[in-house]
Amino acid sequence: MHTLSSIEIEEFASRRGAHEKDVESFLYTVGQPGTEEGALLNLYYDARLYDWNISTVRAIEAGIQLAYAEKAADLEATYDGISTPLPGAAYSFWPYSNR
């Protein structure tokens, strides 16, 4: 897990339409102790409880993904949980797009 820096958290909190204080206070707690799935469940619970807008939820989701991206890379995790026998390649059910 990657502990988010104050600068990273401020970047997520300053996203258009996001409630700055909600994003900051949530992202400072990410990873104490827990998993990405647990953080996302907490996010969705809090979002419903406090009636957060979609911009706030998406900013927090992005912060959670960044915090756990290093762990996913270390475990060679993929979005669908399926690995490929090819070294360094990730397998996905989604078609590759070069956009």
| pLDDT, tens only, 56-69 | 999 999 999 999 88
pLDDT score, position 96: 47
H helix intervals, 3-97: 6-13, 20-27, 36-50, 54-74
Angle (CA) 69-50-70 rounded to 5° is 5
Please compute the mean of the pLDDT values over residues 75-99 and round it to a whole number.
45
Instruction: Report d(CA 7, CA 87) in Å as an integer.
Output: 34
Burial degree of 60 (CB within 10 A; 0-12, 13-18, 19+): buried
Angle (CA) 86-36-6 rounded to 5° is 110
Cα–Cα distances (Å) from 46 to 41, 51, 57, in that order, read 9, 8, 9
Angle (CA) 83-85-90 rounded to 5° is 45
- For residue range 5-59, list pLDDT tens digits in order: 999 999 999 999 999 999 999 999 997 778 899 999 999 999 999 999 999 999 9
pLDDT score, position 60: 96
pLDDT score, position 3: 87
